[in-house]
Amino acid sequence: MKTLSDLLAEGVAGRRVLVRADLNVPLDGDKITDDGRVRASVPTIKALADAGARVIVTAHLGRPKGEPDPKFSLAPAAARLGELLGTEVPLASDLVGPSATSVVGALTDGGVVMLENVRFDARETSKVDAERAELADELASFADAFVSDGFGVVHRKQASVYDVAQKLPAYVGGLVEAELGVLKKLTDDLERPYVVALGGSKVSDKLGVIANLLSKVDRLLIGGGMAYTFLKAQGHEVGTSLLQEDQLDQVKGFLAEAEKRGVELVLPVDVLVTAEFGNVEHDVVAISDIPADKMGLDIGPKSRELFASKLADAKTVFWNGPMGVFEIETYAGGTRAVAEALVKSEAFTVVGGGDSAAAVRALGLPEDGFSHISTGGGASLEYLEGKELPGISVLES
Ligand SMILES: Nc1ncnc2c1ncn2[C@@H]1O[C@H](COP(=O)(O)OP(=O)(O)O)[C@@H](O)[C@H]1O
Ligand SMILES: O=C(OP(=O)(O)O)[C@H](O)COP(=O)(O)O
């Protein structure tokens, strides 16, 4: 792979460089609640700008439906990036239309601009190669080189991650390089017991990784929104909790496979349930007593103790996905318990994912209490399960 250093060594003054960043930050209205991904994107962008490049940043925010939606505007991210760089970062109001053309045209050496949310264009995430290639051509027409620095999206075969790298001289960015360097330690010569803790809400995406993880880990802890498909597969009522009904059979297979392989699969034994998402009134119930009209929004006190005890003797830990809806204090206890267990641990500990990293910071835990805080959840998991990451393999080819 050609690296950012190679590009800088070639000389970038006056060249237009398209940088794919992951600026998918959590928002409360238009306020960024955790700017970790913006901060993580700064070094690569700054290095290019300082070397006189004309930097064009492209990124996504959330999962809009392939058309403009003001709720998912990158305006807060552009403003924050500008603050961190100490220079204004103009945001085009479109991706490859007249506004983008004019904003890019006005770029001067050392300047940085941003294109509006790349997922406002349905071609970005299209399964049709030709559609993605067409958008990639349009993005590439703005630039002379491409730097792939959005680690959180390198597992996505999307136009701004994969296809555009085939249209321009492409380089791996500093953030992606650094992230891969740390994750490699979790695949080469790792110390055991190796424990992976999974939670969060991207259940259908992340259930898939478990099949391969079962051959690598000694223990798998499942909490957050991930737990309920497992509990249901074991025959429990899960009420209105997050459930991936269509993957129940697959999950039953995981339960059997874990047993066969001697992998300890640890599920919650109690949960906090409530009638409506966001309600703070709740009950603590055993997993055999989840009412049909309630949903589980956090793991309960006994589960917190159990999970902490299962992390205590680990020598290597990877954690992705909050154990509950930590954004609401009432449901933050499970995530806090797991995070605190990792801070206490002597193990090599990696936490990955936009929300998991945000949770660590929101709960006031010391960032240096972890060996590494990764900007990518799904991307890290797919790397750890040994899957080829399209955004990386395209840079190698
Ligand atoms: N039991 C649950 N029910 C619904 N949502 C949950 C539950 N537990 C955690 N979550 C939510 O999961 C989200 C994060 O999931 P995800 O995106 O998979 O994590 P990450 O960004 O760290 O990879 C958080 O917004 C959190 O509120
Ligand atoms: O937030 C992200 O991933 P993560 O929640 O797995 O860390 C990335 O920005 C990728 O977003 P996507 O899962 O909508 O493709």
Q: Please tell me whether 264 is known to bind a ligand.
A: no
Cis peptide before 390 (omega within 30 of 0): no
Task: Report which bound ligand comes closest to the CA of 63.
Answer: 2
Question: 199, 300, 354, 376: which is the annotated catalytic residue?
Answer: 354
* Both tokens assigned to 342: 């990792």
378 has catalytic annotation: yes
Q: Nearest 5°: CA angle at 182, between 77 and 164?
A: 50
Between the alpha carbon of residue 74 and those of residues 23, 38, 184, 201, the distances in Å are 8, 11, 32, 22
Whole-angstrom distance, CA of residue 130 vs CA of residue 72: 26
Backbone dihedral angles phi then psi of residue 368, each to the nearest 5 degrees:
-80, 5
How far is the centre of ligand 1, averaged over its atoms, from the C-alpha of 115 (Å)?
A: 28
Ligand 1 atom nearest to 297, measured from its CA: 1
How far is the centre of ligand 2, averaged over its atoms, from the C-alpha of 153 (Å)?
A: 6
365, 359 in Cβ contact below 8 A?
Answer: no
Mean pLDDT of the chain: 97
SS3 389: coil
Nearest CA to ligand 2 atom 2: 152
How far is the centre of ligand 1, averaged over its atoms, from the C-alpha of 96 (Å)?
A: 32
Q: What is the pLDDT of residue 132?
A: 98
Question: Identity (one letter) of the amino acid at 228?
Answer: Y
Q: What is the pLDDT of residue 134?
A: 98
Looking at per-residue confidence, does 333 or 386 come out higher? Answer: 333
Q: How confident is the model at residue 316 (pLDDT cuts 50, 70, 90)?
A: very high
Average pLDDT score over residue span 158-170: 98
Return the HEC string of 229-282.
Answer: HHHHHCCCCCCCCCCCHHHHHHHHHHHHHHHHHCCEEECCCEEEEECCCCCCCC
How far is the centre of ligand 1, averaged over its atoms, from the C-alpha of 225 (Å)?
A: 6
Residue 84: its H or E element: helix 75-85
Q: How confident is the model at residue 174 (pLDDT cuts 50, 70, 90)?
A: very high
Q: What is the pLDDT of residue 183?
A: 94
Q: Please tell me whether 261 is known to bind a ligand.
A: no
Q: Please tell me whether 356 is known to bind a ligand.
A: yes
pTM of the model as a whole: 0.95
Q: Please tell me whether 206 is known to bind a ligand.
A: yes
Q: What is the pLDDT of residue 334?
A: 98
Q: What is the pLDDT of residue 188?
A: 83
CB neighbours of 345 closer than 8 A, spacing ≥ 6? 311, 312, 314, 317
108: exposed, middle or buried (Cβ count in 10 Å: 0-12, 13-18, 19+): exposed
Q: Please tell me whether 20 is known to bind a ligand.
A: no
Q: Please tell me whether 30 is known to bind a ligand.
A: no
Q: What is the pLDDT of residue 189?
A: 81
Task: Report which bound ligand comes closest to the CA of 161.
Answer: 2
Ligand 2 atom nearest to 381, measured from its CA: 6
304 has catalytic annotation: no
Q: How confident is the model at residue 283 (pLDDT cuts 50, 70, 90)?
A: very high
54 has catalytic annotation: no
- pLDDT reading at 266 higher than 90: yes
Backbone dihedral angles phi then psi of residue 221, each to the nearest 5 degrees:
-100, 130
Q: Is 20 touching ligand 1 by the criterion CB < 6 Å?
A: no
Which is nearest to 392 in space by CA: 207, 161, 132? Answer: 161
Whole-angstrom distance, CA of residue 392 vs CA of residue 131: 21
H helix count then E strand count, the chain: 14, 16
Q: What is the pLDDT of residue 306?
A: 98
To the nearest 5 percent, what fractions of the chain are helix, strand and coil?
A: 45, 15, 40
Could you read off the pLDDT of 129-146 as tens digits, one per residue? 999 999 999 999 999 999
The gap from C-alpha 355 to its chain's centroid, in whole angstroms, comes to 7
Could you read off the pLDDT of 70-95 as tens digits, one per residue? 999 999 999 999 999 999 999 999 99
Q: What is the pLDDT of residue 314?
A: 98
Could you read off the pLDDT of 103-133 as tens digits, one per residue? 999 999 999 999 999 999 999 999 999 999 9
202 has catalytic annotation: yes
| Choice from 25, 32, 72, 153 to test ligand 2 binding pocket (greatest atom count within 8 A of CB) | 153
- pLDDT reading at 255 higher than 90: yes
Q: Is 174 touching ligand 1 by the criterion CB < 6 Å?
A: no
Average pLDDT score over residue span 248-265: 97
Average pLDDT score over residue span 263-277: 98
Q: What is the pLDDT of residue 378?
A: 96
Range name among 207-211, 328-332, 354-358 with the lowest pLDDT average: 207-211
Q: Is 167 touching ligand 1 by the criterion CB < 6 Å?
A: no
Backbone dihedral angles phi then psi of residue 49, each to the nearest 5 degrees:
-65, -45
Q: What is the pLDDT of residue 397?
A: 81
Q: Is 334 touching ligand 1 by the criterion CB < 6 Å?
A: no
Q: Is 300 touching ligand 1 by the criterion CB < 6 Å?
A: no
Average pLDDT score over residue span 197-217: 94
Ligand 1 atom nearest to 26, measured from its CA: 25
Could you read off the pLDDT of 27-84 as tens digits, one per residue? 999 999 999 999 999 999 999 999 999 999 999 999 999 999 999 999 999 999 999 9
